[in-house]
Amino acid sequence: MKDTQIEEYRRILAKEFSDKDMEIETTTGYISIAALGFFITINDKFISLETATCKWALIVSLCLLAISFILVLVRKYKAKHDDLSLMDFIDDMKENSEDDDTTLYYKWAKSHKQLKNILTVIFLCLTAGIVFQVIFFVLNIN
């Protein structure tokens, strides 16, 4: 492949990655808020909180689901902030400067790692929140 073909292919892959990442983030946000609403409704309709056992599981579940949604919002904000910061840095870069290229790579890698870590925590909170809700529901279904 020629350098121009490699650059074009890299650009296409970066666009697809960005689109998929945004789709995952959006879907995770929808799932978090929908699970929160769904479980509140289910508990209201089928379980009497006055006589329920293991209320701690309900509280932990709802907190984890709320945290996962809040983290989705934080991740969206951080991604936009980091993108703007990288664009500003690129605007100020000197042509053919290896130091600037290295700095840009490290800034991007740091941002990518932080966003990936936040997404991992979102998945963990969402999964744990659903598990705790199922435990609460199973223990208290009449």
pLDDT value at position 74? Answer: 96
pLDDT in tens, 4-29: 776 777 777 777 878 888 888 889 88
Query: Residue 90's domain spans which residues?
Result: 3-140
User: Are the CB atoms for 125 and 71 separated by under 8 Å?
Assistant: yes
Q: What's the number of domains the chain is made of?
A: 1
Cβ atoms 37, 62 nearer than 8 A: no
First to last CA, the chain: 66
Give tens-digit pLDDT for 87-96. 888 888 788 8
